[in-house]
Amino acid sequence: MNGNFDLDAGSAIVPQLCQLLRDRIVRTDLLPGEVISASEIAKAYGVSRQPVREAFIKLAEAGLVQISPQRGTMITRIAESAVMEARFVREAIEADVVRLVAEHCDAAMARELQNQISAQQRLPEDDNEAFVRLDELFHRTLAEMAGKPYAWRVVEDVKAQMDRVRYLSVRKDHIRVLIEQHARIADTIMQNDVAGAEAAIRAHLREILKTMPEIAKARPDLFVPARQSRAG
């Protein structure tokens, strides 16, 4: 396991390891069912095993790994039930966020939204990584415009399973759909259309209801079997 990320020795190591490993899990660099070793990760990133173990615990709390004294630490498969619960929580939060932004959108906010949508529309069609970054920025910016940065931190905590599905669903034709949805959200906000903005964000966050069954069918090895997912 080769390290491809330089940890900042001047900052807390555990949060950096959590983010690093979370990103690798979301991008399926670390595959569901794969067993990961604290000692190997510690060696790869030049740290002791203790912060790696602490990072594993936090990732287990997010449902991304399962820690077993007998079998070690394994990357969990995606549970559709967990994705649906995360989507429910995220939609509840972001629906209120966009209502607040739409009520108070001013010229400076409108310019920022326009700039972000333009940046998304200029993306090369095959630059999936850049789209994911801009998508994250768009949603975080909405929370900041609403004066609710903590709401975004809550969303970040619950959406790890959603992010795994989102990354698998990012492809050329789907990116265009998502950018169009972002533009619709921005347009309704700039028009101070509170009801329209709420409807637009809800439709956007329900896109996963369409894409997840397709992905689960195409990559069943990455998912918990449906019966087990419902039982969990």
Instruction: Check residue 172 and give its pLDDT.
Output: 65
Pick the most confident of 11-15, 69-73, 123-127, 134-138. 134-138
Position 25 in a domain: yes
Instruction: Check residue 228 and give its pLDDT.
Output: 54
Q: Give me the amino acid identity at 99.
A: R
State the total domains in the chain. Answer: 2
CB 12 within 8 Å of CB 54: no
23 and 120 assigned to the same domain = no
Residue 60 domain boundaries: 13-75
- Residue 81: pLDDT band with limits 50, 70, 90: very high
CB 73 within 8 Å of CB 38: yes
Q: Does residue 72 sit in helix, strand or coil? A: strand
Whole-structure pTM value: 0.85
- Residue 71: pLDDT band with limits 50, 70, 90: confident
Instruction: Check residue 5 and give its pLDDT.
Output: 58
Give me the DSSP letters along 1-31.
Answer: ----S---TTS-HHHHHHHHHHHHHHTTSS-
* pLDDT of residue 2 exceeding 70: no
* pLDDT of residue 78 exceeding 60: yes
Q: For residue 58, what is the domain's CATH number?
A: 1.10.10.10
* pLDDT of residue 57 exceeding 90: yes
Beta strands in the chain (DSSP E): 35-36, 65-68, 72-75
* pLDDT of residue 74 exceeding 90: yes
pLDDT digits (tens, 9 = 90+) for 145-171: 999 999 999 999 888 888 888 888 777
How many residues are listed for the chain in this entry?
Answer: 232
101 and 203 assigned to the same domain = yes
Higher-pLDDT residue of 95 and 218 is 95
89 and 65 assigned to the same domain = no
Non-local (6+) Cβ contacts of 104 within 8 A are none
